[in-house]
Structure 1
Amino acid sequence: MAANHCSNICFLLLLLLSHFNLGKSQLQLNYYSQSCPKAEEIIKQQVIKLYNEHGNTAVSWVRNLFHDCIVKSCDASLLLTTVRGVVSEQTSGRSFGMRNFKFVNTIKAAVEEECPLTVSCADIVALSARDGIVMLGGPSIEMKTGRRDSKESYATVVEDFIPNHNDSISLVLSRFQSIGIDVEATVALLGAHSVGRVHCTNMVQRLYPDVDKTMDLAQAEYLKRRCPTPNPDPKVVQYSRNDQITPMIIDNNYYKNILQHKGLLTVDEELATDPITSPYVIKMAADNEYFHQQFSRAIILLSENNPITGDQGEIRKDCRYVNAN
């Protein structure tokens, strides 16, 4: 009797596990080779064109991947706009500073012209991030496709998934581990902080009323010049680059900086000093190739988080709206 009971439970557990992994297993390389063979090249050319016209778009594509995939699924729910009962995830405070969403529509329109209602917005998020990483001097990553698009927004739970810039490294690690991203990969993913910028509103708590004792003093003085008030207007674009040496290259300078206590955010400082993460930080600071290898692995793990596949979801015609709208 006990053996039968165990057998039933084990069977149910295997069933749940297989269901969890089903979407991931249905992703494949060159998914559109028959249905839209030019899709990946069209996306790549659009990413290059947009980068040449607006360099910061490449950083946006990387951030889009993180914000989309960590919340429930890699399903382009991030791209839904607020309309007819849908509240956009972009309205969350976690989305502060995100931009260039309109250029996702530019990429989508180019793909739609070639293959109507064939390529998902979720795959455009993933592939534009992959190609954006290359434009930013990062590694070339083989990325599977076959994702479908969500029919709903998850605006009400965004903050349950995306850590705040002031959260502890232990909380950040637990959030990533909950979607299958291990410590080493998490350290590598945070290396995306090597590009882009941080708005003053997200770091003034480390400068006022007193400078965070863990911060390098020369760095603090520089940041005070960039952020001269403890209450910056969020509508005024006041910021500092994460990396002043190679601000638009995904490289290991980020790790070198945080080991010198020059990180901008609390999580940057804790990443360099926490005994769980610091060994990886030291190794990545010393070896850019190792960092790129782990960054590639982390991006793949992130991009394959719980995708919608098969007959689920839909292929949106316009990334901003579910097809019913």
Structure 2
Amino acid sequence: MATNDKHCFGTICIFLLLPLVLQFSYGKCELQLNYYKESCPRAEEIIKETVTKLYNKHGNTAVSWIRNLFHDCMVKSCDASLLLETTKNIVSEETADRSFGMRNFKYIGTIKEALESECPSTVSCADIVALSARDGIVLLGGPQIEMKTGRKDSKESYVAEVDEFIPNHNDTMSLVLLRFQSIGIDVEGTVALLGAHSVGRVHCLNLVNRLYPTVDPTLDPDYAQYLKGRCPSPEPDPKAVEYARNDRDTPMVLDNMYYKHLLSHMGLLLVDQQLASDPSTSPFVEKMATDNGYFHDQFSRALLLLSENSPLTGDEGEIRKDCRYVNGN
């Protein structure tokens, strides 16, 4: 009898604890693959189609998608707070110094409009940021990444935190690594993510400190001369179209040419060149320079970690009808 009582008590305990276990396991909706399978079956297809059309018209949009993901997910959470415009109650993150040069936000609106026509108030702007980056990476010759969805949109901007979380082009490598480590990305992943600098361009404003009044001795002399031709003034106009390509050889391909350039002292930004000289990062630079597949694998791994940084899920956020404004504004 005692054995039976003990057995029954154990069964009752399991029965009583089961709801608590389920609450901890499922109380918060986590990100998942094909999150919109039932609510908007064509969501990911619509995003891919629109991203491709925009890329075919404006190739540089693909670079913007990647930068959007980086700037959104590094600051607090992957929650589309980056897209909020300034209103009476909000100061846009776009006004922060580290947001300098960001553009093509209007095309996020193009994607959102296509989704709203198919499935009103269903697909979050945060997921649009993530999936457009995923699809843009493929268009740039990068890896296909299986990305989870289910993010919700923030109701507030974090403009005060932008400069704290986004690494600057002239930060020390230790500080850059610390910023990435704070969201769970290791040294190897950080080196891979900076490989996104293999595409796109940099405004002269962020370059001239390496050229004037004297040339940074870590720069290849011929490359420095080329950069001076692109940026002839030590005081460039921030509003002028004055820039240099990150990669002159394959400027619109996400590949390991970036790392080869670093080993040849042709890193465009100071933070780039430090990757090749810092003992904690240089072994990964050398390996990625010789193995494009390894670079793509590490880039995929790190980008997934970045894309899943503290997302708002369940009832924590909202699905904005217009990515530029909190609902009700």
* Same fold by TM-score greater than 0.5: yes
Match of 1:244 in 2: 248
- In structure 2, the residue matched to 1:289 is 293
2-structure distance, mates of 1:204, 1:249 = 25
1:182 to 174, 186, 189: 186
Separation in 2 of the partners of 1:288 and 1:264?
20
Q: Distance in 1 between matches of 2:30 and 2:189?
A: 23
Residue 39 (1) aligns with residue 43 (2): yes
Alignment of 1:131-146 (within 5 A): 131-146=135-150
Number of residue pairs aligned between Structure 1 and Structure 2: 306
Sequence identity (%): 73
* Equivalent residue, structure 2, for 1:98: 102
**1:215-234 alignment runs, 5 A limit:** 215-234=219-238
Moved over 6 A (4+): none
Amino acid aligned to 1:211 = V
Partner of residue 120 from structure 2, selected from 116, 123, 129: 116
Bigger CA radius of gyration: 2
Distance of 1:231 and 1:300 partners within structure 2: 38
- Provide the secondary structure at the position in 2 that maps to 1:82: coil
Alignment match, 1:204: 208
Amino acid at match of 1:163: P
1:176-229 Cα distance to aligned partner (Å, 9 max, x none): 000000110000000000000011000100000000011100000000000001
Q: Which amino acid aligns with 1:45?
A: E
1:96 partner letter: F
Question: Is 1:173 aligned with 2:177?
Answer: yes
Deviation at 1:22, TM superposition (A): 8.5
Residues 223-281 of structure 1: per-residue CA shift (max 9 Å, x gap): 00000010001110100001001000000000000111101111011111100000000
Q: Deviations over 1:287-309 (max 9, x none)?
A: 00000000000110000000000
Instruction: Determine which of 305, 314, 320 is the counterpart of 1:310.
Output: 314
Q: Specify the code of the residue in structure 2 equivalent to 1:147.
A: R
Question: Is 1:51 paired with 2:82?
Answer: no
Q: What is the rounded CA distance, in whole Å, between the counterparts of 1:48 and 1:157 in structure 2?
A: 32
Q: Which amino acid aligns with 1:168?
A: T
Deviation at 1:156, TM superposition (A): 1.1
Residue of structure 1 in register with 2:92 after alignment? 88
> C-alpha separation between the residues in 2 aligned to 1:69 and 1:209?
36
Amino acid corresponding to residue 95 of structure 1 in structure 2: S
